[in-house]
Amino acid sequence: MSSQHYDYVIVGAGSAGCVLANRLTEDKAVRVLLLETGGSDKSIFIQMPTALSIPMNTKKYAWQFHSEPEPYLNNREMHCPRGKVLGGSSSINGMVYVRGHARDFDEWAELGAENWDYQNCLPYFKKSEDWAFNADDYRAKGGPLAVNNGNNMRNPLYRAFIDAGEQAGYWRTEDYNGGQQEGFGAMHMTVKNGRRWSTANAYLRPAMQRDNLTVRTKVQVERILLEDKKAVGVAIIGENGKETIKTSGEVILSAGPIGSPQLLQVSGIGPKSVLEQANIELKHELPGVGENLQDHLEFYFQYRCQQPISLNGKLGPLSKLAIGVRWILFKTGLGATNHFESCGFIRSKEGVEWPDLQYHFLPAAIRYDGKSAFNGHGFQLHIGHNKPKSRGWVRVQSDDVTVAPKIQFNYLQAEEDIEAFRACVRLSREIIAQSAMDPFRGDEIQPGKAVQTDEQIDAFVRDAVESAYHPCGSCRMGAVDDPMAVVDPETKVRGISGLRVVDSSLFPTIPNGNLNAPTIMLAERAADLIKSGTTLAAANVSVVQDSNWNSKQRQNTPAREVK
């Protein structure tokens, strides 16, 4: 192919890649090639929100990565699925929309990602968004990404959970994605007219109507082509065999927190020792490539429900058929929601400045594979510590990109992370003990009343905790003189011209929340940096934080504290 044919080659049609494909092709003079290893996202199991557990566990739609045995989790190998389909992980995720706390992005700037503070990021959250309710200084209408509350918490368990959080002494928040994250309230999701609103639906499909965008699926990118210290294209394997694709502009990696560092390393860009061990010729030493890997862990706090109102009553084949038929015909009903319709964000202890624990409430007791946890009705909290100190890595084993890299998260390596999960257990029990849950609360199934001491809680967590599927940080963005930064604040790979990385691997630290929203925000802002080097004017808004954070864990004394 002609070296002048494409101005930009984007590797990966995921949460970031689809955004870039749309925004860069707004300029009709720019020609863009988008490469994706996976295929079509038109499966009913992708588009129907309630079927979310299926695509993430299907090899056709997701890379089924697993970590190395995790030394602090009894050597468990943890599942790490990543999207391999148009829309990437936005086509297999839980559709939960959480921006993160404002201080998460201030933290990025403090660590060297200049101008990636909250006031500079907020305009791009707003640019991306089509909010279902009233626009204000924090929320916007008219963007590509539909955001709403699904079925508007019709099941009474949702509101009971929010009330219980307030009774336990925490704030209620009317909009955790607005000026106040901390507290309990309705949860938001990326669903439009009953359909999963992935970046493929929101950004890519409109862009595919433009003549200056080419999308190729079923393509494996083998490596980045380098001439001296410049990226000039990519080598691929497609349906027609091996090809070399050149670009007159830039190569942009949006292959995600596993794929992007892997492609850099197999191309000879990364830590010298890692490349030597994999017998890869070192082209450019960047010791931070693949390091700084982070993820969220969570477990299910499960209770029996005393009233027959939970989703456990809808798991039989006839009920599932009825839900599916209604969704196919009308895109309404239980098929049109991810069922995470209420939530909470709290601090694990006094002295924590902003929330580091997150609740997803589900009016069912169920596993991620969609199977019932026990006979009868139940409900569960997904609870996890969202600001871990533990760090891991991604390291290639050979120059063959089809060989999965080694992944080590080092979950719970840091003592602070272990202590936070103890708080997850004890604080959750206090919340569910409140009077708002009295009509519904049955026996505690998991962890179970026998789990009380620090040692018992630690043992339970090591056995029961699961990934929340939020890996990030493996190509960290930082100051130009930071030796462990992989990209600079303009998303350019340090020391290599014509090469950028734009996806969640850039996050210096993991935000307090699900990662799809901040990944889309990052891609929106990066698109402006790529096009013009300029960005939208920074916002000037206030953010609600507890002024007593250093001395109090919550705002008020809980009404019923579990002893």
Burial bucket for residue 351 (CB in 10 Å: 0-12, 13-18, 19+): exposed
User: DSSP letters of 136-183?
Assistant: -SS--SSSSEEEB-TTTS-SHHHHHHHHHHHHTTPPB-S-TTTT--SE
Could you tell me if 490 and 459 lie in one domain?
A: no
Terminal alpha carbon distance of the chain? 70
CB 454 within 8 A of CB 422: yes
Alpha helices (H) along 414-562: 415-432, 454-464, 516-531
Residues 41 and 109 in one domain: yes
User: Dihedral through CA 400, CA 236, CA 529, CA 121, nearest 10?
Assistant: -60
Residue 96 assigned ligand-binding role: yes
**Ligand-binding site membership of 94 (annotated):** yes
Residue 101 catalytic? no
CATH number at residue 305: 3.30.410.40
User: Are residues 397 and 369 located together in one domain of the fold?
Assistant: no
- Of 101, 360, 382, 470, the active-site residue reads 470
Residues 125 and 156 grouped into a single domain: no
Domain that holds residue 178: 151-186+297-385+412-464
Positive/negative CA dihedral, 34, 39, 42, 48: negative
Residue 340 lies in a domain: yes
In a shared domain, residues 255 and 401 = yes
Domain count, the chain: 2
Q: Are 396 and 254 members of one domain?
A: yes
Q: Are residues 273 and 311 in the same domain?
A: no
Find out whether 93 is annotated in a ligand binding site. Answer: yes
CB atoms within 10 A of CB 380: 23
Residues 400 and 499 in one domain: yes
Q: Are 470 and 256 in contact (CB under 8 A)?
A: no
CA distance 175 to 190: 15
Examine the fold and report which residue of 464, 491, 508 is the final residue of a domain before the chain moves on: 464
527 and 481 in a common domain: yes
Tell me: do 403 and 493 sit in the same domain.
yes
pLDDT 10s per residue in the chain (563 long)? 434 579 999 999 999 999 999 999 999 999 999 999 999 999 999 999 999 999 999 999 999 999 999 999 999 999 999 999 999 999 999 999 999 999 999 999 999 999 999 999 999 999 999 999 999 999 999 999 999 998 889 999 999 999 999 999 999 999 999 999 999 999 999 999 999 999 999 999 999 999 999 999 999 999 999 999 999 999 999 988 999 999 989 999 999 999 999 999 999 999 999 999 999 999 999 999 999 999 999 999 999 999 999 999 998 899 999 999 999 999 999 999 999 999 999 999 999 999 999 999 999 998 766 666 678 999 999 999 999 999 999 999 999 999 999 999 999 999 999 999 999 999 999 999 999 999 999 999 999 999 999 999 999 999 999 999 999 999 999 999 999 999 999 999 999 999 999 999 999 999 999 999 999 999 999 999 999 999 999 999 999 999 999 999 999 988 887 76
Question: Is 548 part of any domain?
Answer: no
149, 186 contact by CB (below 8 A)? yes
Please report, for the domain that includes residue 513, its CATH number.
3.50.50.60
As given in the structure block, the two tokens for residue 436 are 């708002």
H or E stretch at 259? helix 256-266
Integer Cα distance of 340 and 516 in angstroms = 15
Same domain, 252 and 289: yes
SS3 assignment, position 418:
helix
Same domain for 85 and 175, yes or no, is no
- Find out whether 501 is annotated in a ligand binding site: no
Is pTM beyond 0.75? Reply is: yes
